[in-house]
């Protein structure tokens, strides 16, 4: 036990503390420093020298110029670039033209009006676990929500204006979401 070098287990030092790079400003050694934003490389001669840089360099590398796709804002060719947050398509005229192609958002389904407050509409939402549900967009005044896909179809037994889609034995069904009713019919839209 006496042969163990206890300086190896020093909790104050990080395993990657020695970077062995030289500061371009003063020629001193660069070391790993820590801030609330994370780790970075800084000059060991701080505060005399204030040089610092990030660990990874994320330059905007051009991967491929798309000659057949003109920029809708300035008419120059578009280019595929590898940037700080991954790959994207932008204009070759950057920084004069800062056009970036954004992914098209999926078309919003038209959901029925909220059957409880009659002021808002049902809207597709996602909980913190990634599951989808359908809630009134007048929240927090109206807290009505459903776990299944809502359809604007009036229940034949209780006259509730919204039913939910379900699958039973391979058939598409509509069920009343009211706990007291739970009436179920075949989906008339699926049989067509």
pLDDT of residue 5: 66
The pLDDT confidence band at residue 56, using thresholds 50, 70 and 90, is low
The pLDDT confidence band at residue 36, using thresholds 50, 70 and 90, is confident
**Residue 86 in this model has a pLDDT that exceeds 80:** no
**Residue 185 in this model has a pLDDT that exceeds 50:** yes
pLDDT of residue 106: 43
**Residue 144 in this model has a pLDDT that exceeds 80:** yes
The pLDDT confidence band at residue 8, using thresholds 50, 70 and 90, is low
3-state secondary structure the chain: CCCCCHHHHCCCCCCCCEEEEECCCCCCEEEEEEECCEEEEEECCCCCCCCEECCCCCCCEEEEEEEEEECCCCCCEEEEEEECCEEEEEECCCCCCCCECCCCCCCCCCCCECCCCCCCEEEEEECCCCCEEEEECCCCCCCCEECCCEECCCCCCCCCCCEEEEEECCEEEEECCCCCCCCEEECCCCCC
């Amino acid at each position: 036990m006496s042969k163990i070098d206890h300086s190896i287990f020093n909790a104050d030092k990080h395993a990657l503390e020695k970077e062995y790079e030289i500061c371009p400003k003063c020629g001193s050694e660069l070391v790993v420093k820590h801030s609330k934003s994370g780790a970075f490389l800084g000059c060991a001669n701080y505060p005399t020298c204030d040089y610092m840089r990030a660990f990874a360099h994320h330059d905007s590398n051009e991967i491929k110029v798309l000659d057949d796709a003109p920029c809708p804002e300035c008419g120059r060719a578009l280019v595929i670039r590898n940037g700080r947050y991954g790959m994207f398509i932008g204009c070759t005229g950057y920084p004069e033209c800062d056009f970036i192609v954004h992914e098209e958002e999926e078309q919003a389904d038209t959901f029925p009006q909220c059957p409880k407050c009659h002021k808002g509409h049902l809207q597709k939402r996602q909980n913190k676990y990634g599951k989808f549900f359908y809630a009134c967009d007048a929240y927090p005044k109206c807290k009505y929500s459903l776990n299944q896909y809502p359809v604007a179809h009036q229940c034949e037994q209780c006259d509730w204006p919204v039913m939910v889609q379900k699958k039973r034995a391979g058939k598409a069904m509509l069920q009343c979401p009211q706990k007291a009713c739970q009436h179920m019919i075949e989906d008339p839209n699926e049989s067509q």
